[in-house]
Structure 1
Amino acid sequence: MDGEREVLWDGVRPADGPVEAAGPYAMKRPEDAGHLPGVPRNAAAARDVVTRLLEAEFCGLAGEGPADVVVADALLVTSELVTNAVRHGGGLTGFTAEITDDGLLLTVADASTRAPVTAERAPGVVTVGGYGWLLVRRLAKRVSVTYLPGGKHIVALVALA
């Protein structure tokens, strides 16, 4: 992901931080009129939230922060959960990230009551796409799905050690 950034709908670079990405100052497309304040607009904004959280938690702890591969796993799980909520879940309706004693706890809410799907694959056939939920389940220490009347919450715990 070095230097890789998503491009927003109007061709500008993503926001510099969670407040700019999710707050009232971000530009809105007409169909974004119902966007919830505090909810990242896309996977890049959610990754920014997680990156800043990890930096704040481990800043100044020489040698005590998570390894680069662990950070990469946390950002990949973040991207996949948010992207799946946007593409397949009727839109992202909630997002939280927090550090606990067990690791990074991500909660992603969307507007669909459909269960996440792992695509059926024929043996020996490589396909494009459909790996997101499989990656989340493989990289997270724990994953749970809670179904609500207007959607669902997916909670994933990513170990940071």
Structure 2
Amino acid sequence: MEEERGMCGQDKRSATGTVAVSPQVVSTGPGSPADVRQAVRRALARRPGGRTRDDDEAVGDALLVASELVTNAMLHGGGVTAFEVTPTEREVHLSVSDRSDQLPVPVRQIDGVGRLRAGGHGWMIVCTLASDVVISNLRTGGKRITAVVPLPPGASN
């Protein structure tokens, strides 16, 4: 990887090199959003600790972010080349690689006459739910987007 950039705003900071990563990594090649959601569920289910009342919402956030990243890679990035989910005690790192060097572009949510646009909300969802988003250019071409989604301690599904 050559270059890393935070993409969601000034309040998002790169966690690269500052977070202890769990050895529980699930990595898959190209797949559908449903396949990726299942991989996230499996990875979170293997985390140590008990359930908390915040589990369902936090796991739902992680599943939604994973789905949006994969869908965006399929629609705008030339397809998914790799997916990785790495849960830690308090967050889950979701990384999706694709074939495109183009950066995600936020889409204006309101059209010219003041109506809410259909579609184009995925990047906004990722940026809203993730505590950190980093985009890295890959030496072989394409990019890797890593989103960090907070979890309550011991969250599993």
Give the TM-score normalised by structure 2: 0.72
Partners of 1:101 and 1:55 in 2: CA distance: 12
Deviates more, 1:112-121 or 1:78-87: 112-121
Aligned partner of 1:48 among 31, 38, 44: 38
Instruction: Report the CA distance between 1:39 and its aligned residue.
Output: 1.1
Deviation string 1:88-134 (CA, Å, 9 cap, x unpaired) is: 10010011001124410111100000010111233741111000000
**Structure 1 counterpart SS, 2:28:** coil
Instruction: Report the CA distance between 1:66 and its aligned residue.
Output: 5.1
What is the root-mean-square deviation of aligned Cα atoms in Å?
1.9
Between structure 1 and structure 2, the one with the greater Rg is: 1
Partners of 1:101 and 1:50 in 2: CA distance: 14
Q: Match of 1:85?
A: 73
Contact 2:95 2:146 (C-alpha < 8 Å) held by counterparts? yes
Structure with more relative contact order (C-alpha pairs < 8 Å, separation 6 or more): 2
**Structure 2 stretches lacking a partner, 5+ long:** 1-26, 153-157
Count residues with an aligned counterpart.
Answer: 123
Instruction: Report the CA distance between 1:144 and its aligned residue.
Output: 0.7
Contact 2:34 2:67 (C-alpha < 8 Å) held by counterparts? yes
Query: Share of identical aligned residues, percent?
Result: 41
Partners of 1:65 and 1:82 in 2: CA distance: 28
The 4+ residue runs of structure 1 with deviation greater than 3 A are: 61-66, 121-124
Deviates more, 1:94-103 or 1:131-140: 94-103
**Structure 1 stretches lacking a partner, 5+ long:** 1-36
Aligned partner of 2:29 among 39, 53, 60: 39
**Structure 2 counterpart SS, 1:77:** helix
Aligned partner of 2:58 among 57, 63, 70: 70
**Structure 2 counterpart SS, 1:121:** coil
Aligned partner of 1:94 among 50, 61, 82: 82
How do 1:6-155 residues align onto structure 2 when only pairs under 5 Å count?
38-58=28-48, 61-64=49-52, 67-122=55-110, 124-149=114-139, 150-155=141-146
Higher helix fraction: Structure 1 or Structure 2?
Answer: 1
